Amino acid sequence: IALDLISRIPNLRLEDWDVIWRALINRSYTYRVIGIMEDNVISVENAKYILNFLTDTVPELIELSMERYSRDHALTIVIKVIAEHPELSHEALMFTEGFLNARANNYKKTFSKRDLKYEKENVAKILSAIYGVDSGDSGSKTKRRIIELLELHFNFVEDDGEYLNTAPLEAYQLLLSWLQEDFYGRIKHVEEILVSDFNESKYYKRGFDGWELMGGMESGFSKHYTIHDRGFVKYILTPAFEQAYQDDKDGFWKFVITNVLSTSVEQVSAVKPDFMSRAAIPIIIEEYLNGKNEKQAFEILTSFLRMNKGIPDRSRLIFQYFRDMRNIEKDKQWKITKSHLDMSESKLPPSTFVEDVVMKLAVTGDVEALEYVESWMNNPNYIDTTNRFHFYADTVIARLLDSSNDLAKQKGIHFLKLYLTPSGKWEDGDNTRTWDISPLLVKTFFIDRDELAKIIYGLYDSQKKLTKNRQLVITSILSDQEINDSGDVQFLFSEIVQPIIFKKLDGNIENIVKKFSSHHAREQFLKFAEKLMEAKKFKQGMDLVHIFMKDPNPSLKNEPDDPEGTFNYHQKIIDGNEEIVISTVRGWIPFVLRRAIRVEASKYLDEVIIINEKLLSDENYYVRFQALILLSDLARNRHTVVPPERKERFMSLESAKRIEDMAFNFLENEENRPYKPLMERVLYCF
């Protein structure tokens, strides 16, 4: 109540209530006290009092173990004070210095017992605000003191990767600003700060010798890889180098050659650390591509590539830059790329980044790049899917097939054939890789459908007993959602399904099951039958339905690939679980036949009814459940008339009566009565 009354006093002088603030700052009213101060920061008198008060009560603020937000709130008030009253920057610096001294070396730790990330950000913002007040005087004592505080309390070498966890971005930006004000006079000091931080780390007990012991995080998303350097390289050194280079290219080039670069493993030391050369990589690449010192820059880059040491590896950083740059002179790009490829004893791309650069050229139809890719595809070690140091072969093939260049596309088809060999690594283990191959077949279909047919036949004829993965690859093209055009569907039937199912296997389900032992593969033929129905190829669709009506899947027992019975839908129906999911071979048939309940397929209606009647008495209750869904569709349409005259019946009265009888017979069948999902589903027919 007292605090509320005080807060409402007009023109409140905070100093008049000093005894109240000091009595409550370390109690449960801390946040309220600081809030009142924030509301009265406009007055310079109050602002100065706030800074002095906070400076005096730093120990209390630090001890607010359960009031972290109050402490962070206090720091944001200091930022606000500097914004409103720049003339109080000295008092703000005194507070910040006291606050940092109380924290000792806590900020140097990557993960402290307390989460200090937000606090460190606010402290860095305070220092940045104070630094900005003296923006016109680069040599001021205030600025020097701020840099000393950064050096003393912040750790600039632990951050590695995409995100900053140890030092906040504002601290990096502050050190960068100070460096850019006098680059040549301060770069050595910044380097010493960084080396000192390494030496203080628990990982460098023997002293930092110029090489980092860990880091170089590499991440990948959607088959795009990125390697990350240290935070200080990204946010301090490289931006400073780039600015100095733009200000005086000749002068900076001489400086970097003499004072920065190490071109051999032996040259790296604490005096000339590896990270300084890494920070200069963008400048060296720019000089190689567009500068006066092209030859020297090329020699430096190749020396970096030969070093084959460092975390992160310089070669990966170099080719990441080349990969991400646009409008590069092709000859220069090839020159540096080939020099690195020729260094590889395995004759394979040393990294995904080199591979990416080659692929960027290959997709344009560059003959030399395609020759390199072909040499990789012929190397068993390249297509080994256990190798994580390059792209999967199917990724390379996909990029070529997606190219707008005809030569690249044809090479993509050729490489796909090489990849899908009888002993292909993609067949090992589970079927994860097969689903990556399916899109390649679809791409090939739209480029050259005849070649696609040859690939399918090649896979089919390659083994008397097809592996599961090979079965899935052969049939995956049939259910792909991109192939819906009537002409495309007809091609797949005429050139693939009909020759395999009706000719090679004689339309005999025993032969089909023997060749395609995976029920998942056989399901694809029913999914294709649905496409045939949608494309109004009703006869072909019905022919497939008749064949697979005799398929043994689903059985009443657990499938060999499902020993736990996770997908035993027959048992789930018995257990009282409704299973709407469309699965299994015979389970797909009702869904296919639903596509035949249309005017254009009216001649097949009686056939559909007869098949469904059989399915309603299938030994597998899940198949019966699916058949009830089809029966409910038939029941809804049994008295439908055909537009526009609406005089002709969609189906005969005899057929309508038969549908009704099927529903009543199912309802009255004692075998179905115990199972709630079946009894509930049959009610949809009435």
- Looking at the DSSP assignment, which residues form a beta bridge with residue 641? 649
pLDDT of residue 139: 65
Burial of residue 667 (number of CB atoms within 10 Å: 0-12, 13-18, 19+): middle
User: Which one is predicted more confidently, 620 or 425?
Assistant: 620
Give the tens place of pLDDT for each residue, 233-257.
Answer: 999 999 999 999 999 999 999 999 9
Average pLDDT over residues 583-612: 96
Question: Which run of H or of E encompasses 114?
Answer: none
pLDDT of residue 428: 66
List of residues 6+ apart from 78 with CB closer than 8 A:
50, 51, 54, 92, 95, 96, 126
Q: What's the CA angle centered on 93, arms 88 and 97, to 5 degrees?
A: 155
How is residue 436 written in tokens? 């990556």
pLDDT of residue 423: 63
List of residues 6+ apart from 268 with CB closer than 8 A:
209, 210, 211, 262, 274, 277, 310
Residue with tokens 């200080």: 232
Q: How confident is the model at residue 408 (pLDDT cuts 50, 70, 90)?
A: very high
Do the beta carbons of residue 494 and residue 532 sit within 8 Å? no
Distance of CA 150 to the CA centre of its chain: 35
pLDDT of residue 387: 55
* DSSP single-letter state for residue 559: P
Average pLDDT over residues 431-445: 86
Distance of CA 77 to the CA centre of its chain: 39
Give the tens place of pLDDT for each residue, 555-594.
Answer: 999 999 899 999 999 999 999 998 889 999 999 999 999 9
Cα separation of 594 and 125, whole Å? 66
Burial of residue 11 (number of CB atoms within 10 Å: 0-12, 13-18, 19+): exposed
